[in-house]
Amino acid sequence: MSRRVSGIRQRLSAEEIGEPEFFRRMIAASADRFAYLDRDLTYRAVNPAYLMSWGLKPEQVIGRRVDEVLDRDLYAEVILPRLEACLAGHTVVYEAQLPRRGVRVGWGEVTYIPWLDRVGRVEGIVVCVHDITARHAASNSLSRLGEIVEKAQTEVYVFDPEHLYFEQVNQGARTNLGFDMNELTVMTPLDLMPDYDPQTFSRLLEPLRRGSKSQVIVETRHRRKDGTCYPAEIRLQLLGTEPRFVAWVMDTTERRRAEEAIKHLAFMDPLTALPNRRLLMDRLERAIAASRRSHRLGALIFIDLDDFKTLNDTLGHDQGDRLLRQVAKRLSSCLRESDTLARLGGDEFVVMLERLSRRAEDAAAQAETLANKLLMALREPCGLEYREYRCSASIGVTLFGPRAVSVEELMKQADLAMYRAKASGRDTLRFFDPAMQAEVSARAALAANLRRGLQHGEFLLHYQMQVDADGRMTGAEGLLRWQHPQRGLLEPAAFIRLAEETATILPLGRQVLDMACAQLATWSERPETADLILAVNISALQFHHPDFVDQVLAAVDHRGCDPNRLKLEITENLLRDDRDGTIAKMSALKARGISFALDDFGTGYSSLTDLGRLPLKELKIDRSFVQDLVTNERDAAIARTIIALGDTLDLDVIAEGVETEAQRDWLAGHGCHAFQGYLFGRPGPAATSAPRLDA
């Protein structure tokens, strides 16, 4: 039985209805077709709608039997069996095509209800015919549509616009939901959409009902029979001549996973699962804006692990990655839920603190407390494969608040403070202050001036002579100077470290080699200087460049100087990396006649094994041991050891920084016969450093 007649009593009695006059008044105004038949199936009453539908007059119906009025075939096959069932006391409901003068023109829902007398016997039949032609046409249309959508992979739902009950749900939807069609016919979209209530869903459909939109798209959750939900994109439309809502539902689980994966790659560090630089910058920008509104300070803490490169080089990158993951967990365990921890890359981490105190002193104390907590957490041993490793970090801290500041500026401030901590001995923290910024700005200007100076030929060599025990000049050391256009003549202490940090030392080193070879070529033209040896300093970065040997030989060949007159001074620190490669380069240059001196010997790190393997010609006693060797027994002992070591290894020994005759005499008395220092002349241009041929 349809919902329309679900509330009709199955049987009516005359006692309940009243007199026939009441019946006539009730049915006269109805749009549905009513008739009353007696037990002989003779028409006793009909309403105007019944007559109109058949195109008949009352006298053509009243008093006649049903088989005399209606189509005989229809009567025999369809109507009579159902009327007999009704006479037996059953209410009958069915759908049938309605003939009109022998032509089938539409569809009706026909209901037969038994009419009972006072003792409960069937006295007659009430006939009700409801025109469902339009609904049947829509049903046929939906049926044809159903054949198309049933096999569609997209979930398709058809529901009526009034009560929202599902009328059709395709196989794809039923499979995903876990419901069968019988269960779905008593359900509405609200049963599957946990995020919507009736009012919200009604507002969602309203633009479709009004016709202001042809389609509505929402992203929500869909609920399965087992209670689990899946993300879905729902496209709603109102279609058909007898309108029906159609919902096209796409399970977006895989799309969401792909989007999350892309988002994770874009905003998260794959090794530690922490936010990456991009996400940190976004959060930091928001935090700066929030701090300006609330006037509560925030802090940025820059963390750089100490000696991480050494760990990577010695234990391997897999152990380095393992350490980084442990570091990420330890740092995270120290933070509040509102704090942000990000990995910038390599061994660099950043912590962002929000909503600290409004007073700078208190906010700094809060940030310092947390930073010290981070340092303590990192000092605990980390479990790496086959061993424990103790980690430390250098931390830089900067505050931000009401003052306008950019994300980039804050990052630079924290980075500067971190480098100050690293320069202060590591495993410590430092706060940023404006003096750091001034220093950095000055360094940046100096770096730019370095590059400009290279382009404009502002660098030159000054020469400090080297003499033997008799005071005869045997050679000189070429010392780099910078003729700065504003600051005047600068010694290496003012710029060489920056040149190394910015790799400007590479082109600068090539320029020094070229100037030295040019000077040797000039000296070779005069008999009194033709045999002089010229020494120049080589930085570790320059020496370890893959093309170093070729660069040296190219300078020698270009200037046409005697390679036997060129001496390259290297430091002990150069020996830390790639000993075999170092020996190979030195041997290649020695084969061409170029010699090597170990500069500042005793101040760095080297072993007797290193000295024995290296193709050296000379050891150079550092000036720090020469200065007080006459009065300081420790310095004197070191100087004696170096001289003795030179004798043992058959290496020349030269002392630099000799300023007094007492120093020279002491050195000569202990077997050192080569000197360099102010006692013999200050460094100067070649034109003012004429060689002294006798003392």
Span 205-222, average pLDDT: 92
pLDDT for residue 608 = 65
Domains and CATH numbers, the chain: 20-137 (3.30.450.20), 152-256 (3.30.450.20), 270-432 (3.30.70.270), 447-689 (3.20.20.450)
Question: 241: Cβ–Cβ under 8 A, 6 or more apart, which residues?
Answer: 134, 137, 138, 141
**Position 499 pLDDT exceeds 60:** yes
* pLDDT > 90 in the chain, percent: 60
User: Looking at 149-153, 524-528, 632-636, which range is the least confident one?
Assistant: 149-153
For residue 578, is pLDDT > 50? Answer: yes
Give yes or no for residue 3 having a pLDDT over 60.
Answer: no
The set of residues, in sequence order, having a beta carbon less than 8 Å from that of 529 and lying 6+ positions away, is 523, 691
DSSP state letters, 316-342: -HHHHHHHHHHHHHHHHHTS-TT-EEE
**Amino acid 6: pLDDT:** 37
pLDDT reading at 636 higher than 50: yes
- Please count the CA atoms within 13 angstroms of the CA of 351 that sit on its side-chain side: 30
Q: What is the pLDDT of residues 259-278, one digit of tens each?
A: 777 777 778 898 999 999 99
Check pLDDT > 60 for residue 626: yes
d(C-alpha 495, C-alpha 295), whole Å = 42
Choose between 192 and 695: higher pLDDT. 192
Angle at 316 between CA 314 and CA 317, to 5 degrees: 135
pLDDT at 8: 41
Which of 258-272, 457-471, 589-603, 647-661 has the least mean pLDDT?
258-272
Q: Which of 24-33, 343-352, 592-601 has the lowest mean pLDDT?
A: 24-33
pLDDT reading at 217 higher than 70: yes
Quote the percentage of the chain above a pLDDT of 70. Answer: 89
Predicted confidence band of residue 402 (pLDDT cuts 50, 70, 90): confident
Nearest CA to 92 among 2, 189, 22, 30?
A: 2
Is the per-residue pLDDT at 100 higher than 70? Answer: no
Which pLDDT tens digit goes with each residue over 378-390?
998 888 877 788 8
Q: What is the pLDDT of residue 554?
A: 97
Indicate the average pLDDT of the chain: 87
Q: Which of 67-71, 208-212, 529-533 has the lowest mean pLDDT?
A: 67-71
| Residue 492 CA, distance from chain mean position | 43
| Per-residue confidence band for 97, with pLDDT thresholds at 50, 70 and 90 | confident
Question: Mean pLDDT, to the nearest integer, of 303-327?
Answer: 89
Measured CA distances, 19 to 16, 102, 122, 312, 406 (Å): 9, 35, 16, 104, 92
Picking from 120, 36, 45, the residue whose alpha carbon sits closest to that of residue 83 is 36
**Considering only CA atoms, which of 203, 158, 166, 163 is closest in space to residue 183?**
166
Alpha-carbon distance values, 205 to 105, 123, 156, 244, 669 (Å): 35, 49, 17, 12, 107
Phi, psi of 360 (to 5 degrees): -60, -40
pLDDT at position 605 is: 55
Q: What is the mean pLDDT of residues 331-344?
A: 94
623 or 601: which leads in pLDDT: 623
Q: What is the mean predicted confidence (pLDDT) over 426-435? A: 86
Q: Are strands 652-656 and 155-159 parallel, antiparallel or unpaired?
A: unpaired
Q: How far apart are the C-alpha atoms of 31 and 27, rounded to whole Å?
A: 9
Long-range pairs of 508-513 with CB within 8 A, sequence gap ≥ 24: 508/450, 508/454, 508/459, 508/480, 509/538, 509/539, 509/542, 510/551, 510/555, 511/454, 511/459, 512/459, 512/461, 512/478, 512/480, 512/536, 512/537, 513/551, 513/552, 513/555
Cβ(450)–Cβ(504) below 8 Å = yes
